[in-house]
Amino acid sequence: MTLEIRLREEATEELAKAASWYERQLSGLGQEFLDMALALLESIPENPTQYPIVHKVVRRALLPRFPFGIYYSIEENFILVYGVMHASRNPSRWQDRT
């Protein structure tokens, strides 16, 4: 059974802000970031335990080519995404959400 992905509102906002920032840097780059992030989000349910635990029960999946991680936990019937954050950000930003 494939688990449903649920994003916290903060994660959705972070994803949109990052895509917007990349688009301002180079036309098309924001869409490329978004495409990679969405592909990674869609792949997580196929094997949710493949990514390492980085805090308590929270796992991190790293985006290829971009210095961002998707922070999520495996719940009973779904996957909860806490944040989509730049690797240099203070981890307390997503840890406070768990």
Edge-to-edge strand list for the sheet holding 53-55: 4-7, 78-86, 68-74, 58-62, 53-55
Indicate the number of domains in the chain. 1
For residue 16, the model assigns a pLDDT of 98
For residue 96, the model assigns a pLDDT of 65
Q: How far apart (Å, rounded) are the C-alpha atoms in residues 41 and 5? A: 8
Q: How far apart (Å, rounded) are the C-alpha atoms in residues 59 and 15? A: 17
pTM here? 0.89
Residue pLDDT, tens place only, 42-68: 999 999 999 999 999 999 999 999 999
**Mean of all residue pLDDT scores within the chain:** 92
For residue 2, the model assigns a pLDDT of 83
Query: Reduced to 3 states, what is the DSSP secondary structure of residue 17?
Result: helix
Does 88 score more than 90 pLDDT?
no
Q: Which of 33, 32, 74 is nearest to 51 (CA)?
A: 74
Which of residues 13 and 92 earns the better pLDDT score?
13
**In CATH, what number is assigned to the domain containing residue 64?**
3.30.2310.20
Q: Domain of residue 40: give its range.
A: 4-97
